[in-house]
Structure 1
Amino acid sequence: MDALMVDIVTENQLPLCLQLKDDCTFESFYAGSNAHIINIIKRAILSPHDEFIYIWGRKGVGCSHLLQAACHFATLHQRASLYLPLKQQLNTNILQDLERTDLVCLDDLDAIAGDKLWEEAIFYLYNRIKTSQKKLIIAAQQPPKGAHIQLMDLRSRLEWGIAVQVHALEDNDLVCALQLRAKKRGMQINQEVAEFIINRVTRSMSSLYLTLEQLDVASLTLQRKITIPFVKKILKL
């Protein structure tokens, strides 16, 4: 998997390297009705003040993409960043000293809901980041009040910042999003083929992009254009 290695350098100059998907950028994110969220994130990253953004949306709408895109954007503007997917069952020690990092993005908050150690660790990290005038973005599938967080102090903190919902794309936007991603991969998919795909594959961006990758590999291997008959054959429809 292609990835960008992002170095988070602490005061003692020890690098912490984490992987970002190199195609998860703002440019490759078809925003549709979510365009304002990109603007909110960009302004927060470039702000001289501490910022907290809570983004939420159901699985597959693009929250993870947006968090990784935020890190790519921060890197382009000479700011240290860290993307941390909480569903990876990491040790809470990884949060130590992150208040020295310009931008911290915590994905999958739902994965640690009810875990006392993690909830306390994020609560204290939130406070340290605010004191250090840095930025924190948290993503979850539920809004702040519905995140099932047990620690009352953390629940209140989650409601302090900007909370925005990432909405699922309408069908027309899904077609455009699929064609945009195809173009980024050097593929040619016309509107008819794109419509055929979205009507037969789970309508989440992650599922559609995986399907696109499958078709791309098959097309290159078999030296075939991506047509509806070809899609039917590869996807066994």
Structure 2
Amino acid sequence: MRKSENTQMALRLSNGESATLENFFEPPSGVVVQSIQRFFTASEDTVFSICGASAQGKTHLLMAACNGFRSEKCFYLSLREYADFGVHVLAGLESFDVLCFDDIDAIAGQPEWEEALFHLFNRCRERGCKWLITSAEAPSQTPFLLPDLKTRLAWGECVRLPELDEVQRINVLDIKAANIGFRLSDEVKQYIMRRAPRDLSSLSLILERLDKASLVEKRPITVPFVKSVMNW
């Protein structure tokens, strides 16, 4: 793997250094965080899958896993972002303790990638390396061409992220704002929720933009300020 690619992957991970399992929001009935913790500490499974719609927090969970288990050698790779680089990016990854593959379904239907992942999985299993993967659907429902790859990815537990309702999205706003270092009034939260896209990634980007603008202009985050910054 070329040095520039390693650098880009490291930067991708550094952008998620604030992600933790503790600041991931899930409904009271949610079991995702508990299941991930069990996978790392007690499970003998090689693979754990997280599925769900886009921008529901799957990447956050992978980043959180890398941040939370620093005693392990952990490697994050977005297959949607790096599929065009070719399968050579997988070389030697079995030397890690944990591999986090985001959007593994992005390479479904690509024989070279599927074959390479299949052989990497077998090498990892021999060495005790765990896989934490995300996709839109469960591995058993993902259109992989290689049956053996689909079977192996479906060996472990798979959890689906639920779509959040309005109240839960507001709770996410509170958590993300607190992580950045500020609070939002109820009026501002309601205004953002009426105007912003519904996905969690967009909400995060909006909060980061508001935080930077507030620091530059030295102004509190009010409804008029949000309206001005976001051009709403």
TM-score category, normalised to shorter length: 0.7 to 0.9
Q: TM-score, normalised by structure 2?
A: 0.88
Residues 152-190 of structure 1 show CA distances to partners (whole Å, capped at 9, x for unaligned) of 111122221101101122211111111111111111202
Task: State whether residues 52 and 135 of structure 1, in contact with CA within 8 Å, keep that contact through their aligned partners in structure 2.
Answer: yes
Q: Match for residue 3 of structure 2? A: none
Q: Match for residue 93 of structure 1? A: 88
Q: What pairs up with 1:212-223 in 2 under 5 angstroms? A: 212-223=207-218
Q: What pairs up with 1:47-86 in 2 under 5 angstroms? A: 47=42, 49-75=44-70, 78-86=71-79
- SS at the partner of 2:195? coil
Q: Match for residue 110 of structure 2? A: 115
Structure 1: gaps spanning 5 or more residues: 1-7, 9-15
Q: What pairs up with 1:89-168 in 2 under 5 angstroms? A: 89=83, 90-168=85-163
Shift, 1:122, TM fit: 1.1
Task: State whether residues 62 and 132 of structure 2, in contact with CA within 8 Å, keep that contact through their aligned partners in structure 1.
Answer: yes
Q: TM-score, normalised by structure 1?
A: 0.86
Task: State whether residues 48 and 133 of structure 1, in contact with CA within 8 Å, keep that contact through their aligned partners in structure 2.
Answer: no
Task: State whether residues 34 and 166 of structure 1, in contact with CA within 8 Å, keep that contact through their aligned partners in structure 2.
Answer: no
Shift, 1:48, TM fit: 7.0
Shift, 1:126, TM fit: 1.7
Q: Match for residue 173 of structure 1? A: 168
Look up the equivalent residue of 2:73 and give its one-letter code.
A
Shift, 1:44, TM fit: 1.4
Higher strand residue share: 1
Task: State whether residues 9 and 77 of structure 2, in contact with CA within 8 Å, keep that contact through their aligned partners in structure 1.
Answer: no
Task: State whether residues 45 and 155 of structure 2, in contact with CA within 8 Å, keep that contact through their aligned partners in structure 1.
Answer: no
CA distance 1:48–1:188, shift in 2 (3 Å)? closer
RMSD: 2.1
Provide the aligned length of Structure 1 versus Structure 2: 222
> Whole-Å Cα distance in 1 between the matches of residues 26 and 158 of structure 2?
17
Look up the equivalent residue of 2:72 and give its one-letter code.
R
* More displaced 10-residue stretch of structure 1: 156-165 or 40-49: 40-49
CA distance 1:192–1:224, shift in 2 (3 Å)? same
Shift, 1:35, TM fit: 3.9
Percentage of pairs with the same residue? 35
* More displaced 10-residue stretch of structure 1: 185-194 or 201-210: 185-194
- SS at the partner of 1:82? strand
> Whole-Å Cα distance in 1 between the matches of residues 39 and 116 of structure 2?
23
> Whole-Å Cα distance in 1 between the matches of residues 29 and 142 of structure 2?
21
Q: Name segments (4+ residues, structure 1) moved above 3 Å.
A: 47-50
Shift, 1:34, TM fit: 7.2
